[in-house]
Amino acid sequence: MDLMTSVMIYILLPLSGMIISAYSGLFNHVDLDVGMEHYAEPAWLPVCNIMPLNSLVNLGYVVLGLYWCGMTHTASAYGILKDKDSVLFYTFNISCVIYGCVQLLRIVTQGVLWSVLDQWSTLPFFSLLLVWGFYYQYGWCNKRAAFIMIGSLISYLLSLCFKFGFEISLGFHIVGAICGALLAYRRHPAQGVLITFLLALISCLGFVILKLLDHRLAELCVIFRYVSGHFLSKVCDIAQIHFVNNFFLALTLQKSADISVEKQKQYFQHCKTNGFYETNDIKYEVCRKLVTT
């Protein structure tokens, strides 16, 4: 069984539990935006009763997720990404594909089941970045990763306790994701990657703000009844996911470079400890220059 298939199975197991819980009616009383009236875009195509742009934009998640899965597969095959790095990239981007499918079904059906799953599946997306950050800062720990991801899924129960329970949980998840990204950067500060981090933050703000202003924008200008705030928020969300992938790819490459330099320094110290001060060994000379610079 290849790595991508294994990751897919690990994702489908909790997803199955989420579907069963949502189908059971446990979250039927959660405050959800179910119904066409919650969206500024009307069903303006004569042949079907769906919102065209709000539906089609979800295919962007699927295309982007598949693209980065392909990138991960290629990078893994050439040894650029190690197993744990590949697992995180696969998990993030397979989740992206599933997220796009869930959102599409929510828009098309306007059903409670898919609305619950849409909200619920948003949370692990953000918590995975915290797992990523702890991994880069402190190394991999199965228990820590499981604790964060399970805690993220359980936090959706806040929606049963408070009217804005989901929003409260999402707010904490966004803060956690930012902390995870900063933890990873602190450990392996790749050059120029802060611009990508800033673009991801701007996209995240666009995702939140444009969604909240969906109806308000439609009142200001008729064009936003079709190219709606909700549609534009999804464009920002897709951009955010792309920038996050780029951010962690740059840090992963920097991590590999840092590990390589550290091994060279250890080799240099080993040579020096054993009295090899004068040598024509090219590797020794390279290590010596690395240490002295």
79: left (phi over 0), alpha (psi -120 to 50) or beta: left
Close Cβ partners of 102 (under 8 Å, ≥ 6 residues apart): 114, 117, 118, 121
> Alpha-carbon distance 117 to 163, whole Å?
17
Assess contact for 62 and 100: CB atoms under 8 A: yes
123-176 pLDDT, tens per residue? 998 999 999 999 999 999 999 999 999 999 999 999 988 888 899 999 999 999
- Residue of higher predicted confidence among 148 and 226: 148
Residues belonging to the chain: 293
| 188 DSSP assignment | S
Least confident of 10-24, 30-44, 147-161: 30-44
CB atoms within 10 A of CB 4: 19
Structure tokens belonging to residue 43: 């069903």
Interval 75-97 mean pLDDT: 92
Give pTM, 2 decimals.
0.86
> Alpha-carbon distance 42 to 9, whole Å?
38
> Alpha-carbon distance 173 to 162, whole Å?
17
pLDDT exceeds cutoff 90 at 233: yes
Q: Dihedral, CA atoms, 63, 223, 213, 65, nearest 10 degrees? A: 0
Please tell me the predicted confidence (pLDDT) of residue 92: 96
What domain count does the chain have?
1
> Alpha-carbon distance 123 to 149, whole Å?
9
240-288 pLDDT, tens per residue? 999 999 999 999 988 877 655 455 445 455 555 555 544 455 454 544 5
Structure tokens belonging to residue 148: 């964060």
What range does the domain containing 123 cover? 3-292
Close Cβ partners of 6 (under 8 Å, ≥ 6 residues apart): none
The domain that holds 280 is classified in CATH as 1.20.1070
